[in-house]
Amino acid sequence: MSDTENRRPETGAFFQRDRDWHPPAFAPGYKTSVLRSPRKALLSLDNTISEITGPVFGHSIIGELDNDLIHNFAKPGESAIGERIIVHGRVLDERGRPVAGALLEFWQANAGGRYRHKKESYLAALDPNFGGCGRTITDENGYYVFRTIRPGAYPWPNGVNDWRPAHIHFSVFGHGFAQRLITQMYFEGDPMIWKCPIVGTIPDRRAIEQLIAPLDWANTIPMDSRAYKFDIVLRGRRSTFFENRPEGN
């Protein structure tokens, strides 16, 4: 950690977001976006100190079972039902540098595709031992890992017969508030990915492929859990070429 502490403060502005890579706000195939999408042009401005800075969370907020969704809601001695998996990877920035100390929060449906939420109405059964939320913080190499069960696919009201492919929601903090990101991870080999209207809000196929975690056979734990690798890329910072100006570069 001493290396981290001795590092110069990160004061550079972030690379501009590629708005053609992200889904547009208005994506009529995903019907809820129609009334919830801004229609006027965004105001584009280089970062100020209000975007360059951001909250950083200490490892002290993380509990022992926070990254174990199989056990963090289960009764003592019991565990969640489903296919046991490990999800792991690195948080990097657009320059390929690891983002240490990044808070990741994740949530998902249970093995039958049912969320533990009062507005959830799918007829699949709740699992009394599965809550569906977890969190962790990346280490000095930007690495993270958590254990869960593979979520099920589920139907949702959009078209008459739309289904979500199995997915895990991720919320990610980097070091600046401008890096704030929410996304979803999908599973290699799932044919439903390409039928999903929410996936389909993303215009570029390569951007979708970047959300699909491959089966990571080498990291599979024999007789225990399969592993999926999911790397996440946050906005990169510009180099601070000249002296650190207190208000940021």
Partner 1 sequence: MVQELGHLKETASQTAGPYVHIGLTPNFGGISGVFERDLGSVMVNDETLGERITVTGRVIDGAGAPLKDAVIEIWQADAAGLYNSPSETRGAADPNFTGWGRGPTSAEDGTFVFETVKPGRVPFKGGRLMAPHITLWIVARGINIGLHTRLYFPDEAAANAEDPLLQRIEHRHRAETLVAGGQAPNYLFDIHLQGEKETVFLDM
Contacts with partner 1 in 75-94 (CB under 8 A)?
Answer: 92-94
Number of Cβ within a 10 Å radius of residue 187: 22
By CB under 8 A, is residue 132 in contact with partner 1?
yes
Q: Which of 154, 186, 228, 237 is catalytic?
A: 154
Number of Cβ within a 10 Å radius of residue 246: 7
Of 1, 39, 189, 222, the one binding partner 1 by CB under 8 A: 39
- The answer to whether 238 is a known catalytic residue is no
By CB under 8 A, is residue 228 in contact with partner 1?
no
CB of 53 to partner 1, least distance (A): 4
CB of 125 to partner 1, least distance (A): 17
| Phi, psi dihedrals of residue 214, rounded to the nearest 5° | -75, 150
Residue 35 has which token pair? 């009334």
By CB under 8 A, is residue 72 in contact with partner 1?
yes
- The answer to whether 115 is a known catalytic residue is yes
Stretch that binds partner 1, among 80-88, 139-147, 212-220, 228-236 (CB under 8 A): 228-236
Q: Contact, 165 vs 199, CB < 8 A?
A: yes
By CB under 8 A, is residue 139 in contact with partner 1?
no
By CB under 8 A, is residue 19 in contact with partner 1?
yes
- Cβ distance to partner 1 smaller for residue 59 or 221: 59
- The answer to whether 150 is a known catalytic residue is no
| Phi, psi dihedrals of residue 206, rounded to the nearest 5° | -65, -30
Taking CB under 8 A as the criterion, which residues in 170-209 touch partner 1? Answer: 171-172, 175-178, 180-184, 198-199, 201-202, 204, 206-208
Q: Which of 88, 114, 115, 150 is catalytic?
A: 115
CA–CA gap between residue 25 and residue 199 (Å, rounded): 13
Residue of 139, 146, 114 lying closest to 213 (CA atoms): 146
Output the CA–CA distances (angstroms, integers) from residue 66 to 46, 75, 87, 226, in the order listed: 36, 15, 14, 20
CB of 189 to partner 1, least distance (A): 19
Q: Count CA within 13 A, CB hemisphere, residue 119.
A: 2
Residue 205 has which token pair? 């196929």
| Residues with a known catalytic role | 115, 154, 164, 167, 169
